[in-house]
Amino acid sequence: MNAVIPRPARQATATGGELPVAGPWRIRAADGRLAAVAGTVRALLEPHLRDRLLPPDADGGATGSGPATLTLALDEEPRAPHRTTVGISPRGAAEPVDESYRLTVTERGITCRAVTPEGVFRAAATAIQLLTTSAARILCQELTDAPHYAWRGLMVDPARGYLTPGELRRVIDLAALYKLNVLHLHLTDNEGWRLQLPAAPELTAPRGDGAPREYYTTEDYRALQEYAAERFVTVVPEIDLPGHCAALREAMPGLPAAPAPEGLAGRFPFVPPLDLADPGTRDVVAAILADVCRLTAGPFVHIGGDEAVGMTADGFALAIRELRALVRASGRRPLAWQESSRAGIAPDDIAQFWVDVPMMDLPDTEEELADRPELLAAGHTLEFIKALKAFFAPADHDLARIVQGGGRVLLSPQSHLYLDRPYAHEVTPAHQVEAGARLGFRTYRSGGVRHTADWNPAAHAVPDERIAGVEATLFGESVGGFDDLTTLLLPRMVSVAETAWTGRQPEWEGHRTRLARHAQLWEERGLAYLASTEIPWP
């Protein structure tokens, strides 16, 4: 068997032939339109083949005896995909881009064919996996495949756990190797503001004590988007408003607080959300979003809209409508977390579903709370938990609001796709107990790789035509460095990538066996991972 993830839709194995892996390899673009794709594929292959990858000037010519060849070719005629692709194209196309491909392994090399450069690149990602996860030889075979969901995303959170531009490039490479095509950057939150904006230089200016801030310059951001585009990954920035705004308030003091519900003051601490009914605040936010939209090459800008604690329902609805309008006025398409549905939903709106009260898995009694050491360690009392449930109660109806309003749902349920969930102690190997105990958002119940892999998009009863796509998220509260990030991502991100591509959860026994052979790929790329005891590692 091959160990490709996501598992291809169809596989036909030829009789008797094998392709040796160990010798030298060259990359050949059979069509001049694929020259740039060939260069990107070469860059992705280098950590694995190293000096066995021949230099570009050896790529020309037809395949013959000697080096094996990875050939990239465009089909002349469109080919029907083997799955029906649904959802929103992250590149803004009216219809999903054709990413279907055909990959052929012969005794002389691997050929990647598709109608579009995107499809050729997805085939090349499959070829890289075959070369990395196979032993000495690959059986001659033909694979044909296409995605189910057009939007297949990963969100990371540099606002809380800063990642350098170089580290984000490594995340993009990892995403591309598993056919994810969106990198959602949570750029702002209470803990930090990470994007330099000409209209608001104070957001990234040194702090009052002279301490520098960590952020992406406008040139960093442009270069990162170009790097992602070469790998057919779209960058979606998130400016989280009107709540989660402590970093903005620190840099721009004096903005008035949004009107709060009666009886809330003094009960629980919260950062006052922004009041978008205030003309001065609206002007500040308008300048910020205009800059973000101008700097963003892709068609989408995420406006946040989650957890606006300390804001009336009317004030929140007004804020969401203003934020959407400001993004649209700058020529970009807004999306927001599911709470935005409470401001109304239209067919052009996308809302990211992440939570309902049952999914939060919170206790109802003191006895149940006593059995949840992670909640006790976080200082949660039953009074606080009851208030939390009351605050999130409207979330139980957000999904229905989105669907009934004709909008699209981006599926990111906290229960399975939040990859900041701690790993369960019982699946953590002895040599990673410290990391397992430290990493993850500590108020979540812990889980394993199988827990993530068992998620089924159909469980939410959202019609396929109303689903924008699938996106895993990893918030950065516990991320202290790049190794922490990848340990939380791997292996679980790979399981989400399988589900996002195929439209259904993988069959566990086969999936875990294939996962085991991907450790070599991660190690060759210098990526830390959790060696879960659920997986039969070599």
Q: Which two tokens stand for residue 419?
A: 């990859």
Between CA 404 and CA 109 the distance in angstroms is 51
Evaluate the omega torsion of the peptide bond into residue 273 and state whether it is cis, within 30 degrees of 0: no
Q: Which two tokens stand for residue 407?
A: 């909008």
Q: Which two tokens stand for residue 369?
A: 């709370």
Between CA 398 and CA 411 the distance in angstroms is 12
Between CA 172 and CA 190 the distance in angstroms is 25
Helix (H), strand (E) at residue 452: helix 449-453
Q: Is 410 exposed, middle or buried (0-12, 13-18, 19+ CB in 10 A)?
A: buried
> Please, which residues have CB within 8 angstroms of residue 51's CB and are 6 or more apart in sequence?
none
Between CA 410 and CA 417 the distance in angstroms is 12
Contact 70, 124 (CB under 8 A): yes
Query: Could you tell me which of 12, 43, 11, 326 has the C-alpha nearest to residue 172?
Result: 43
Between CA 79 and CA 280 the distance in angstroms is 54
Helix-strand-coil split of the chain, %, nearest 5: 40, 20, 40
Q: What is the dihedral of CA 210, 211, 213, 219, to 10 degrees?
A: 60
Query: Could you tell me which of 419, 416, 420, 413 has the C-alpha nearest to residue 398?
Result: 413
Where in the sequence numbering do the catalytic residues fall?
307
Contact 336, 323 (CB under 8 A): yes
Q: 462 to each of 81, 151, 459, how far by Cα in Å? A: 23, 16, 8
Query: Could you tell me which of 459, 453, 462, 463 has the C-alpha nearest to residue 505?
Result: 453
Contact 133, 177 (CB under 8 A): no
Q: Which amino acid is at 318?
A: L
| Beta strands at 192-193 and 188-189: parallel, antiparallel or unpaired | antiparallel
**H helices within 111-234, ranges in order?**
117-133, 165-177, 218-230
Q: Which two tokens stand for residue 507?
A: 């069959």
Between CA 168 and CA 181 the distance in angstroms is 14
Strand partners, 184: 155, 236
